[in-house]
Structure 1
Amino acid sequence: MSDLHPLLAELRETYRRTGRPQMSSGTPADGRALVASSRTFLGPGPADVAAVGVRIPTRDGAIAGRLLLPPGDREPAGVVVYLHGGGWVLGTLDDFDALGRHLAARSGCAVLLADYRLAPEHPFPAGLHDTEDTLRQVASGALAAQHPALAAGRPLVVAGDSAGGNLATVAAAAVCREVPLALQLLVYPVTDARMATRSYEVHAHDSFLTRADMVWFYRHYAPDGRWNDPRISPLQAAALGHLPPAWIAVAEHDVLHDEGIAYAERLAEAGVPVTVRRCEGVTHGCVRMMNILEPADRLVDAAAAAIRAACARKTSPSQETA
């Protein structure tokens, strides 16, 4: 195992010295405020990426979305529906605006950030239903009246990090027989609630995401009797061969590392084309650090390249090490 990147090691030490609370030590409101407080530190996305607010009809009403457009009035090469991380409990459009802007600028695609409903106010399967309905709305062209970039017929990618990666792949499994998906792009996805892997042992008390944090997230999302439902733990699904091609990134110093690798292996065994990117020296949450952390910047570059390739119908399976 490689050493933690110096910036992350310094940040971890700062957290310990200042007594920064873990997510699991407070309320959802506390956690949401903690995530929001990091926006200034992490920095903004490209200013030349235009943002358009949209409303996305769902089976339960409507949710907000933010459409981010590639700069220079370029015709988008495709549409990326992006589901933010945060354990199904935390995260807002503003928290992930910078990442979405970088992906739009670098991929040449329109990026739709979906403000899916959060637990515990809206427990499983509310956020999943919102994700499925968003994919159907985009694929059908039903949102085109709000912006022409959302017209039907563009290549469609579903993407997300952490719990957002979980929603992305579970929703893909639910809709991919009716909605053509060019790619599922998953960054350190949550795939297995058993929490019994070696990476859970090694990183159980890591400052960035602890085992206790994950238990806290799961408990807010669903009763523990449902955690092994494949719609929460997709690694436990009986069959995965119908899913679209996958690009999966895992962080080396992360409790979720091993289940991300295991999920990639299950997809490959089922015949799904899979690219795995192993990001060394970094932790959970690193993808939002592209402005301040070089490995994170490379990760976003690689993700954008995978999106471009998928939208050009040139995706091919491979494995690489960051």
Structure 2
Amino acid sequence: MDDEATAELDPQLAELLQSGRVADLPAWHELSVSEARRLEDEVFAAGDGPRLERVRNHRLEGPDGDVPIRIYRPGLQTERNPPPALVFCHGGGWVLGTLDSADDLCREFAARIGAVVVSVDYRLAPEHPFPAALEDAWAALEWTRDEADRIGVDPDRIGVAGTSAGGGLAAALALRARERNVSLAVQLLCYPMLDPDLERSSYREHADAPLLFRADVAWFWEQYLAKPADAEDPLAAPLWADSLAGCPPAVVATAGHDVLRSEGAAYADRLRSDGVETHHCHSPSLAHGYLSLTGEVDRADATMDDVADAVGSLLNLDS
């Protein structure tokens, strides 16, 4: 993909930014951690999303206490044809986000892909810096694999997914799975945060882009990384991996008006060059976080379908 692929901002998104629920959001880095968390929950926990066959909360044993998860089941399970599963990590710069703030998005993924979604309420920075979030997400992935029969999912079709910082966590889970010879069916990386290098072209072009500023990203990385050396650890910043060969097939979604566009595009290119089957779903006219706006922006809704179709093709599901 041409990393410069940016079109005029989608008119519906532009209107939403002026008068909708995401209008006039302050920069995250200008708020205290507690203020940012409260605002993020207020804005993104709105709405019900698609109705599903079952949604339930659970707590699993993690590396430092229980990890809350929420399991979304799109339809009735059958022993002959159990659905795949996606272990999902929410966005929020590893600082913000809850099961509720990602609820609509998880419902959409479950309904459109036809997969059970296991959403992880991982520990947040700065109270719990890297690698706490990764360890919680890994515990959820192991639990999903161990409990596949009991929760009614196909053990051979378990993947990882995430948005923004959660996309970076999903990429890190895929790297760790490769290291530990754990087979994953797919990795879904939606406008992922993959590298603390803030000098890529999209950071220069869209430093003040809607919904996520360059300074926000810098602040999130400052909260997440416990020490300078972590910035070059591939499990914190997956673009630092020497090779991506052997990672699971990938779907990478990016947006034109997003400071994270360049690193997402670079990761998709590296995956392909290292022999990993990769679908890159790029939306030149949209901004960061657009998959949470499918009910308000037609282009976001259509791209969600494209993403779901790409994931479904890798999971061998009917379109």
One fold, TM greater than 0.5?
yes
Q: Which residue of 1 aligns with 2:158?
A: 156
The amino acid that maps onto 1:84 is: H
Alpha carbons 1:81, 1:112 under 8 Å: kept: yes
- Map 1:1-322 to 2 at 5 A: 1-14=6-19, 20-39=25-44, 43-71=47-75, 76-141=82-147, 148-150=151-153, 153-176=155-178, 177-223=180-226, 225=228, 226-312=230-316
Letter matched to residue 102 of structure 2: F
In the alignment, residue 100 of structure 2 is paired with which amino acid? D
Higher alpha-carbon deviation: 87-96 or 51-60: 51-60
Asked if structure 2 preserves the Cα contact closer than 8 Å seen for 1:119 and 1:220, the reply is: yes
Where 2:152 maps in the other structure, the secondary structure is helix
Give structure 1 stretches of 5+ with no counterpart: 316-322
Distance 2:77 2:17 in 1: 41
Asked if 1 retains the 8 angstrom alpha-carbon contact of 2:211 and 2:289, the reply is: yes
SS at match of 2:232: coil
Q: Contact 2:129–2:226 at 8 Å: present in 1 too? A: no
Q: Which moved more, 1:32-41 or 1:243-252?
A: 32-41
Partner SS state of residue 313, structure 2: helix
Q: Which runs of 4+ in 1 moved over 3 A?
A: 11-15, 71-76
| Aligned residue pairs, count | 309
Quote the offset at 1:185 in angstroms.
0.6
Secondary structure of 1:38 counterpart? helix
The gaps in structure 2 that reach 5 residues or longer are 1-5
Counterpart for residue 320 of structure 1: none
What one-letter code is carried by the residue in structure 2 that aligns with 1:26? L
* 1:306 CA displacement: 2.4
**8 Å Cα contact 1:192/1:235 also seen in 2:** yes
Contact conserved, 1:46 with 1:101, CA < 8 A, in 2?
yes
1:224 is displaced (CA, Å) by 5.7
Letter in 2 for 1:221: Y
The answer to whether the 8 A contact 1:22-1:207 is kept is no
1:231-286 per-residue CA deviation (whole Å, 9 max, x = no partner) reads 22211111211211111010110000011111111111111111111112110011
Q: Could you give the per-residue CA deviations for residues 173-230 of structure 1, whole angstroms, max 9, x where no partner exists?
A: 1123432111001001111111111100011122311111001101111146122222
Structure 1 residues 264 and 48, CA gap change in structure 2 (3 angstroms):
closer
Letter of the aligned partner of 1:24 in structure 2? H
- Deviation per CA, 1:33-73: give whole Å up to 9, x if none: 111121465x3211234201122222222201110011356
Q: Deviations over 1:131-157 (max 9, x none)?
A: 12211221122x75xx5325x624101
Whether the aligned pair in 2 keeps the contact of 1:182 and 1:313 (CA below 8 Å) is no
What CA deviation, in whole Å up to 9, does each residue of 1:266-322 have, x standing for no partner?
11111111111111211001111111111221222222222322222899xxxxxxx
How large is the RMSD of aligned CA atoms in angstroms?
Answer: 2.3
Q: 2 CA distance for matches of 1:186 and 1:285?
A: 12
Q: Tell me the TM-score normalised to structure 2 length.
A: 0.90
- AA in 2 matched with 1:265: D
